[in-house]
Amino acid sequence: MDQAEILSEQLRTLPVRAGAAVRLLQLLDDPDVSALQLAEVIETDPSLTGRILQLANSPLYGVQRGVGSVTQATVVLGLSVVRAFAAGMAAGVLTKHDGAMPNDYWEHSMATAAACSAVARRLRLDTGEALTVGLLHDLGAALLFRSDQRRYRMAERGARASSQPRVDAERETFGLDHARAGAVVLEAWRLPERIVAAIGDHHADPREVVAPLSRLVIAGDALAHATGTGTGTDSHSDSERSLDELLAIVAPGLISPGDVGALDELLAEVIERTSQLGACFALV
C-alpha cells in the first residue's frame, strides 16, 4: 500500500463521533425514511436540533409562519441539507469550535455554501444540494490537516512561497489532495454519487467538468474566494483566468461577461447569505 492508499484507508475508517450524526447517516441510506424518523434522531442532540431549527427559520428559506418542529424543519431544508449536517458533524467540521482546521476553513466553507446556494437559485438548480456541496467541499483539507498539522502547514507555506496550487503541494506531501480525500470519506459514508463527484472534482480543469453540481461547486468556490475567504493558492481564479471567464465556463448564463454590476450584486448576495448561514452554524 502506498502513502495515498494508507491515508485513504485511515480516512474511510475515520473515527466518527458516536451518536446522532452516525445514526442519521445510516437512516438517510433508507430511501423510504420519513421526516418523523429523522426528527426523532435529530432531537436526541440538542445542539443539532438548535442549528436545524435556526437554519429552517433563517431568511435563507423565507418561511413566513415560522418552523416550530424538527419534523417540519427537515421538510423545509430537504434531505440533502440534513445529510450535510450529519456528515459535517460526523467529521467534526460543522462548527467553528470543532477541533483543528486549516486557516480560514470554516469561514470559507460558509461562504462557499452561501455562494453555491445563491448561484443555484439563479440557475434554478437544487439549492439544498448546492448548500451541501459548498459546506463540505473542502472537508478533505480539514482531514489532511488533522492527519499531520505540521506537514500540512509546511505544504501550504511551500505552495504560497512558490505560487504553486495548494492541491499540488498536498499531492506531493500526502499522496492525495484535499478534493480526493474529501471524496474518499464521503463515498465511504455513502453520500450520493453526484455529491461525491462534485467534491472530488472541485479543483479539476473547469473545461473538463460537465456535471451541473460539479460545475456549481467550482463557481461557488471561486465566488467565495472573491469575497475574501480561502487561501489564494486554492483558487481557480488563478493566474490567467478571471472570475468572469471562469463563471462563463462553469455557470453559463449566470452573468453576462463584463457585466460588473451584476457580478457585484451577486457578490453582495453571497456576503449577506454567508452571514445568515454563519449565524446558524456558529451556535455553540
Count other C-beta atoms under 10 Å from residue 270's C-beta.
24
State the minimum distance, in angstroms, from the CB of residue 63 to Fe ion: 29
Q: Which listed range, 6-14, 23-31, 191-199, 214-222, lies at the site for Fe ion (CB under 5 A)?
A: 214-222
State the minimum distance, in angstroms, from the CB of residue 6 to Fe ion: 22
DSSP 33: -
Q: Which residue number, 105 or 189, has a Cβ lying nearer to Fe ion? A: 105
- Least Cα distance to 140 among 12, 278, 20, 6 occurs for 12
State the minimum distance, in angstroms, from the CB of residue 246 to Fe ion: 13
Q: Which residue number, 42 or 222, has a Cβ lying nearer to Fe ion? A: 222
Q: Which residue number, 129 or 221, has a Cβ lying nearer to Fe ion? A: 221
Q: Which residue number, 56 or 197, has a Cβ lying nearer to Fe ion? A: 197
State the minimum distance, in angstroms, from the CB of residue 203 to Fe ion: 6
Among 138, 187, 201, 269, binds Fe ion (CB under 5 A): 138
CA 176-119-93 angle, to 5 degrees, is: 45
Q: Which residue number, 76 or 136, has a Cβ lying nearer to Fe ion? A: 136
- Least Cα distance to 46 among 13, 25, 67, 19 occurs for 19
Pairwise CA distance, residues 11 & 177, whole Å: 13
Q: Which listed range, 21-29, 32-40, 56-64, 132-140, lies at the site for Fe ion (CB under 5 A)?
A: 132-140
**Would you count residue 107 as binding Fe ion (CB under 5 A)?**
no
Among 156, 170, 201, 221, binds Fe ion (CB under 5 A): 221
Q: Which residue number, 138 or 187, has a Cβ lying nearer to Fe ion? A: 138
Distances (CA, A) of 25 to 89, 99, 133, 138: 10, 21, 16, 19
- 3-state SS class at 268: helix
Burial class (CB in 10 A: 0-12, 13-18, 19+), 5: exposed
State the minimum distance, in angstroms, from the CB of residue 112 to Fe ion: 6
Q: Which listed range, 4-12, 220-228, 249-257, 274-282, lies at the site for Fe ion (CB under 5 A)?
A: 220-228
State the minimum distance, in angstroms, from the CB of residue 120 to Fe ion: 17
Residues in the chain: 284
What DSSP line would sit under 164-219, residue for residue? --HHHHHHHHHSS-HHHHHHHHHHHTT--HHHHHHHHTTTS-GGG--SHHHHHHHH
Q: Which residue number, 83 or 137, has a Cβ lying nearer to Fe ion? A: 137
Q: Give the footprint of Fe ion on this chain (CB under 5 A).
A: 138, 221
